[in-house]
Amino acid sequence: MSQIRILFLHAGAEMYGADKVMFDLICGLDKTKYKAYVVLPVNGVLVEELRKKGISVCVIPYPIMRRKYFNPSGIVNYIRDFIKYSKKLIRLAKEYNIDVIHTNTSAVLEGSYIRFKLKIPQLWEIHEIIVKPKIIFYLTSLWISLFSDKTITVSDAAKRHLIQSGFFKHKRIKVIYNGVDSGNFVPDIDNRYLYREFGIPTDSRVIGMIGRVNSWKGQSDFLDAACMIMKKYSDVYTIFVGAAFEGEEWREKELKEKIAASGFEDRIINMGYIRDTAEIHRLLDIFVLPSTNPDPLPTVVLEAMASGRPIVAYRHGGVCEMVKEGENGLLADACDPADLAKKIEVLINDDELRQKMGSISRKRQRESFSLDSNIRKYEKEYSLLVRNE
C-alpha cells in the first residue's frame, strides 16, 4: 500500500501545548506508511523545527477564529479571507494528492471547505473547552459535527463538553490522550547550575507555572497564591514562563506590573516565552497550573509529570484525569487562590510527600500518557478513514 498523505492544519507556529502535541505526532509517524504535509497560518518556531525534521511546511495566512473577528467588520474580513485562502489550500491539497485532513484545533475551519470541495475525509482533533462566548461554542460545535468524519478529543472532559452542545448525539467522539516522550524529561539530572543561573539560593523551594499568558490560564490567581506562600516562607521562589498571543502583549505588561506591585519581586522570576521547558521543570519543586477555565489536557502538566514533579491545579477539566488527588498531586477549588495556596503549602512543608508524589507522577505519565501510544492510535485512525472513504 502507498503512503497515506495527511494534510495538517493548525492555528499557530509556536511551541506551546497543542503545537508540541502536533509536532511530536508528525515526527513520530511511521514514515514508510504516512507522509505529513503541514500548512500553518504564520511563520514561527514550529515552522523552523518541522523543517529541521525534513517535514514539508507551507505558510498560508488563512484566518483563525479569534476574538478580533467577533464584531461586524471582523466577520466580513473573516469570511473574505476564509474563502480566499481556502481556495489556495484546495490547490495545495490537489497538488499533494492528500488522503486525510487532520485539523488540529477547533479554531481552524478551513479543513471543512477542503473536505466539502474535494471529498477528502477530515479528522478533527479538539484541544479546547470553549466556555464563552457561548455562541462561539455552539457555532463551532455545530460546524465540527457537520464536517468532521472523525472527531477526537484529548480528554473525557473535552468530550463531555462537546456532547453538551447537543450536536453529537448520533456521532461518536473518541478520546485519545496526548502523550509526551518521558525520555526528554529526566528528573534525576543535577540541577544546581540552574539555581546559579537564575540567582536562586540552592536551599530554596521553587514553585512555578508554564503557560500562555491569556485570559484564563490563571497567572493572576497563581501570583495571588504565591504571594500568600512567600509571605509565610522566606525561602520560596516563584517562576512564571509564557508569553501572550500576538496583539495581546498588554497581558504580559499587566502581569509584570502586578509582580512589581506584589512586594516579592526579588523572589519572582518572570521568563516570558522559552523553547526548552525541560530545564524549568527540573528546577521546580511543585508545578502549579490554576487555569480559571477548564483546561482540556494541558501538555505542561504531562511534562511536569514526566519530570517527576507533584502537581497542584484547580479541580476541573482534563487535569482531573491526569492528577489522582492525593497520589500525584493536589487539586484546589476552581478560581480560589486561597485554597490553591493551602494545597501548595501542604507540599511545601512535606519533602517526603513531594518526592513520593513526584515518583507516582512520572510512573503515571509513562503508563497512561505515553507518546508512542498516542502516535499509534492516530496512525490507526488515518488508516481507517482512508479504508472507509
Enclosing domain of residue 126: 4-179+370-384
Same structural domain, 87 and 108: yes
Same structural domain, 42 and 70: yes
Handedness of CA 224, 228, 234, 237 (dihedral sign): negative
Same structural domain, 194 and 322: yes
303 domain-assigned: yes
Dist. CA 314–CA 292, nearest whole Å: 8
147 domain-assigned: yes
- Write phi, then psi, for 132 (nearest 5 degrees): -155, 150
Cα angle for residues 75, 77, 83 (degrees, 5° grid): 100
CA 17 to chain centre: 3
Same structural domain, 50 and 151: yes
Same structural domain, 334 and 247: yes
- Write phi, then psi, for 222 (nearest 5 degrees): -65, -40
Same structural domain, 152 and 200: no
321 domain-assigned: yes
Same structural domain, 197 and 271: yes
CATH assignment of the domain containing 65 = 3.40.50.2000
Dist. CA 176–CA 375, nearest whole Å: 10
139 domain-assigned: yes
209 domain-assigned: yes
Dist. CA 305–CA 323, nearest whole Å: 9
244 domain-assigned: yes
What is the predicted pLDDT for the residue at 351?
95
Tens of each residue's pLDDT in the chain, 389 residues = 589 999 999 999 998 889 999 999 999 999 999 999 999 999 999 999 999 999 999 999 999 988 788 888 989 999 999 999 999 999 999 999 999 999 999 999 999 999 999 999 999 999 999 988 899 899 999 999 999 999 999 999 999 999 999 999 767 899 999 999 999 998 877 778 888 888 999 999 999 999 999 989 999 999 999 999 999 999 999 999 999 887 889 999 999 999 999 999 999 999 988 878 898 999 999 999 999 999 999 999 999 999 999 999 999 999 999 999 999 999 999 999 999 999 999 999 999 999 999 999 999 999 999 999 999 999 999 999 998 76
Same structural domain, 202 and 324: yes
Give how far Cα 333 sits from Cα of 209, 291, 338, 339, Å.
Answer: 17, 11, 9, 6
What is the predicted pLDDT for the residue at 39?
98
Same structural domain, 110 and 257: no
What is the predicted pLDDT for the residue at 110?
97
What is the predicted pLDDT for the residue at 190?
74
- What's this model's pTM, rounded to 2 decimal places? 0.91
Same structural domain, 161 and 146: yes
In the block, cell 472523525 appears at 150
Same structural domain, 217 and 141: no
What is the predicted pLDDT for the residue at 97?
97
389 domain-assigned: no
Same structural domain, 309 and 203: yes
The number of folded domains in the chain is 2
